[in-house]
Amino acid sequence: MVTLRETAEKMDKEDDLARFRDEFYIQEGKIYLDGNSLGLMSKRAEKSLLEVVNSWRDFGIDGWMSGKYPWFHLSEKLGEQSAPLVGAEAGEVIVTGSTTMNLHQLLSTFYRPEGKRTKILADKLTFPSDIYAMQSQLQLRGLNPDEHLIRVGSRDGWTLEEDDIMEAMTDEVAIMVLPSVLYRSGQILDMEKLTKTAKKRGILVGFDLCHSIGAIPHQLHTWEVDFAFWCNYKYMNSGPGGVGGLFVHQKHFGRVPGLAGWFSSDKSVQFDMEHQLTPAKDAGAYQVGTPHILSLAPLIGSLEIFTEAGIERIREKSLKQTAYLMELVTQELEGMGFSFANPVENRRRGGHVCLVHEEAVRICKSLKEKGVVPDYRAPNAIRLAPVALYTSYSEIWEAVQILKEIMEKKDYERHEKKREVVA
């Protein structure tokens, strides 16, 4: 039976990715189910960080062109290694900036309101910082966000219908920016279908991949997505504040970036020190300032693991683990007030399970106190993310047993019904 510990142990023994768990620092006595907010440190990420720190010590300024990982081309090298994870061609990915900074860069470049095409299409469930960036870009152009930012609503408060999004693709829309995976419910949007429809209607398309990169495969180049952007500190395990990434389809190569800077330059002429920018011929043009080398460094080791494990195998295990988690919740927590906000269908479910409960904030406090690290999202969501590279099936089983005990004993009632400053 699925509820037996032996079932979980058997699944662990048959797991061909189980060996990667030893690559990570697992806190003793903790079951970490918050990798969709911040991934755990791997030993390879630690090693590559220390190697880059040491190159600063050993080479000083010469570290830009010397050592195991010369800094001058490091963003491009990591972009090339990241490309398979998003289905990109050579030169279409650069590791740079942060999620919001990259969105500002891409909107500054691609959002060109003209005639009646002045509107940006988004949704009401997207992460707030994306909305802040879109509102800012509209205001910089003298446009009222209340009029020019369209946010497609949700029928159930958790998910989006692709039909509703496509209905909003009018001839007044210039550009569309949507999440690949909704951060609360974990729903995957049909990126290929939405992109194809938008293209037919003359709309540029961008996706926020923060909750999908490292968890699901993508085919951005084939789907003809215009641009995408993401962080690398969730499923990609690059560390807190790790440098983000962006994708620009090669059909846009040669375009001058909206926010030009020192590292937007073609590297072969960068140190000619001319006052006229010669932009890089690929996604490298969308860099702005000098790369944050020490924040880039952990991604070197992390990407080695992804290359070995393979995103298809990671996705296969992720689906199996979230399905197992849902099955346990259904059987063990029946009648305790829980429901699923995430889609149950594999093709629509990302890397985490979203449980809804009116006491979510207090339940999360009890879970954390008892060694299970969840993620709370106001007002009533508990996000649980088994990460294929380091979460075991036995941990999933044990986490549900702990949750069951909390509910049976009403342990959560000891806690204040108020979230912490950082949720």
Give the residue numbers of the binding site for pyridoxal 5'-phosphate: 99-100, 127-130, 208, 211, 233, 262, 290
Q: How far is CA 53 from CA 95, 289, 303, in A?
A: 19, 20, 18
Q: Report d(CA 72, CA 76) in Å as an integer.
A: 9
Which tokens belong to 147? 């009029």
Identify residue 271 by its one-letter amino acid code: F
Binding residues: 99-100, 127-130, 208, 211, 233, 262, 290
Q: What is the 3-state secondary structure of 8-45?
A: HHHHHHCCCCHHHHHHECCCCCCEECECCCCCCCEHHH
Confirm if 250 and 92 have CB atoms less than 8 A apart: yes
Contacts of 379 (CB under 8 A, 6+ apart): 360
Cβ burial of 27 (10 Å; 0-12, 13-18, 19+) is: exposed
Query: For the chain, first and last CA: distance in Å?
Result: 35
